[in-house]
Copies of this chain bind each other. A is one copy, B any other.
Amino acid sequence: MGWKPVTKVAATAGNAEGATPLNAFDNALLAAGIGNINLVKISSIIPPEAQVVPLPRIKPGAIVPTAYAAMTSEVPGEVIAAAVGWALPEGSGRNGIIMEFHDKATRDEAERTVVQMLEEAFRVRGWRIREMNVAAVEHQVDRTGCAVAAVTLLSDDDLA
């Protein structure tokens, strides 16, 4: 693996308005506490040895593999949601799995969908879920809004 070892995994979510869709995304990342780092999109596995922790302070500019869902809308009044869920398996040496969801939806709907996706991902692998969590957020659009949910994969060097 080209990266330093991933030792910690942390989830977060945030929502915001912005002058443009990309600014709304930037502002939602700031609200989620990950606005000043570089996200590299991954699909979407928690390494076996990683530990799930609350979001720590991360060095500005760190390049962080991240599974994330983002939903942007410019339709006033629309309710949008983003969710990430992660589940860890029973047994050792097996990876965890992350699922993402974003849509015109409520937070509840996003959470339920992510849970179902995780359950299928474990069912097809023949694994049992030891622990499951979801980070989700909804946003009612004023003019240009964004909801984002993310699971960051962190190495010790990324921590501020």
Residue numbers in B under 8 Å from A59 (CB-CB):
1
Residue numbers in B under 8 Å from A93 (CB-CB):
60
Interface size class of A (residues with CB under 8 A): 35 or more
**Cα–Cα, bound, A120→B6 (Å):** 33
- A106 is an interface residue with CB less than 8 A from chain B: no
In this complex, what residue of B is CB-closest to A65? B63
Residue numbers in B under 8 Å from A121 (CB-CB):
23, 26
| Interface-lining segment among A30-38, A71-79, A129-137 | A30-38
**Cα–Cα, bound, A120→B17 (Å):** 12
A61 touches B43 (CB 8 A): no
Residue numbers in B under 8 Å from A48 (CB-CB):
60-61
CB interface residues, A 102-155, toward B, < 8 Å = 113, 116-117, 120-121, 124-125, 153, 155
Residue numbers in B under 8 Å from A46 (CB-CB):
61
**Cα–Cα, bound, A29→B4 (Å):** 24
B158 touches A1 (CB 8 A): yes
Say how far A88's CB is from chain B's closest CB, in angstroms: 12
Further contacts, 6 of them, CB under 8 A, given A1-B157, A25-B43: A1-B64, A23-B117, A29-B43, A30-B124, A40-B42, A61-B95
